[in-house]
Amino acid sequence: MGLIVQKYGGTSVGDVERIKNVAKKVAQYKAQGHGLVVVLSAMSGKTDELIKLAYQITDEPSERELDMLISTGERITIPLLAMALQSLGLKAVSLTGRQSGIFTDSMYTKARITKIAKENVQKYLHDDYIVVVAGFQGVDESSNVTTLGRGGSDTTAVALAVALSADKCEIYTDVDGVYTTDPNVVPQARRIERISYEEMLEMASLGAKVLQTRSVEFAAKYRMPVVVKSTFKDGPGTWVVEEEADMEKVAVSSVVYDKNQAKLTVVGVPDKPGIAAKIFNAIARAEINVDMIIQNVSVTALTDLSLTVPRAEAGKAMKLLESAANEIEAKSVMIDEEIGKVSIVGVGMRSHTGVAAKFFSLMADANINIEMISTSEIKVSCVIRKGDVDRAVRILHAGFHLGGGEPRVEQAH
């Protein structure tokens, strides 16, 4: 029998009863003879609660200390599961990120895994232990504790699966697979049986939080099969795999939204060469992920430049932009936190035309104003008012016939 890496998310380990339930599930897999590494998140709400504590102390917590703090959520769940497994008569050991050999760079709060020194985990596996690993955390080369960004336990799991050459990585969560859109927003959403790495990567990076983007990057790069399943009910789940021939038949396979973005606008920017480079270099050095950019053509000698960033980084981006604005003699910087993003994704867009036009018409018919647009070969994204997001998602989902009982083959030509 081979090796499986399983990951259980926050809701799945949300209280002691649920942890005992996870222990029972893990015991069943163990009984089938598999080697098992089990990656856990913190109890649901715990990471948010810890972040709030930090902000009760200071408006600007040091990111190093923040990581020390928020990594503790996972320190609670892992020994509890190990104890629950031991109570079932199984050999189990809990390991922190450091004890699991997970090394990262020093980009606190969104560190990247650079290396996995797998010997310790392998030693326990060899001795037939179930190895319970704290997700979301690692250490940098100077032994500072780092975290991998929100949802980072997914990445811990896939990266460990790759490092240990596991047969597959199973992500257990509170939904029974990846859906055509968030099933908590659109009840008609349908579970997707198989999705390509590329589509899943777009979905994750556009805001579908069911898998963290970097976990999909790892899976795609090393061709690790990942399956997303429910902790609470049995079923086939969704397989994330290499693209298959019939996946292109559908132009649009999912609708994604993101309400955690902010728009920053540098007002009164002198319209001359080199200015955009100055503005974006400042942001890039801080490794802030800029999503959409719009610069208007200027009628006068001045123009405005808008960009979107994750809301959690908007404050930091604002400061950097203010000092860049000063340097380039722009007038001011404005922030808008009331935006949201809706996107459609599908590898079939490569071969179907008219998809973007249909998106815009659906928004126009619903009187939803589009503020920014960005496209790639397999996605169309628009920034709209945050208050319109849920309605836009429902309209797009119905408009592209993604709901149950409707034809899935998109006719737009």
**Cβ proximity to ligand ASP, 49 vs 244, nearer residue:** 49
Near Mg ion by CB under 5 A: residue from 14, 101, 151, 207? 151
What's the token pair of residue 330?
């722009």
Sheet holding 3-8, edge to edge: 92-95, 130-134, 35-40, 3-8, 168-173, 226-230, 238-241, 194-196
Find which of Mg ion, ligand ASP, ligand ADP, none residue 165 binds, CB within 5 to 8 Å per kind.
Answer: none
Closest CA to 73 of 110, 47, 53, 112: 47
Q: Which residues of 204-213 are buried (b: 16+ CB within 10 A; e: fewer)?
A: bbbbbbbbbb
Q: Say whether residue 208 binds ligand ADP (CB under 6 A).
A: yes
Binding to ligand ADP in span 321-380, by CB under 6 A: none
Find which of Mg ion, ligand ASP, ligand ADP, none residue 73 binds, CB within 5 to 8 Å per kind.
Answer: ligand ASP
| Helical axes 46-57 vs 63-70, angle rounded to 10° | 140
Binding to Mg ion in span 3-62, by CB under 5 A: 9
Contacts of 62 (CB under 8 A, 6+ apart): none
Closest CA to 380 of 335, 410, 337, 336: 410
Residues 188 and 34: their CA atoms lie apart, in Å, by 36
Near ligand ADP by CB under 6 A: residue from 146, 147, 181, 303? 181
Near ligand ADP by CB under 6 A: residue from 210, 227, 282, 314? 210
Shortest distance, CB of residue 11 to ligand ADP, whole angstroms? 5
In this structure, the strands spanning 254-258 and 293-295 are: unpaired
What's the token pair of residue 163?
């490092």
Near ligand ASP by CB under 6 A: residue from 14, 73, 177, 340? 73
Binding to ligand ASP in span 197-236, by CB under 6 A: none
Find which of ligand ASP, Mg ion, ligand ADP, none residue 42 binds, CB within 5 to 8 Å per kind.
Answer: ligand ASP
**Cβ proximity to ligand ASP, 47 vs 196, nearer residue:** 47
Contact pattern from residue 114 through residue 153 relative to ligand ASP, giving x for each residue in contact according to CB under 6 A and a dash for the rest: ---------------------xx-------------xxxx
Find which of ligand ADP, ligand ASP, Mg ion, none residue 6 binds, CB within 5 to 8 Å per kind.
Answer: none
Contact 341, 261 (CB under 8 A): yes
First-to-last C-alpha distance (Å) of the chain: 49
Shortest distance, CB of residue 264 to ligand ADP, whole angstroms? 25
Stretch that binds ligand ADP, among 6-14, 52-60, 303-311, 389-397 (CB under 6 A): 6-14
The partner residues of 102 in beta bridges, in order of sequence, read 116
Output the CA–CA distances (angstroms, integers) from residue 393 to 178, 255, 270, 302, 373, in the order listed: 16, 7, 38, 36, 16
Summarize as ranges the residues that interact with ligand ASP (CB under 6 A). Answer: 9-10, 41-42, 47, 73, 135-136, 150-154
Summarize as ranges the residues that interact with Mg ion (CB under 5 A). Answer: 9, 151
Summarize as ranges the residues that interact with ligand ADP (CB under 6 A). Answer: 9-12, 41, 151, 173-175, 178-179, 181-184, 208-210, 254
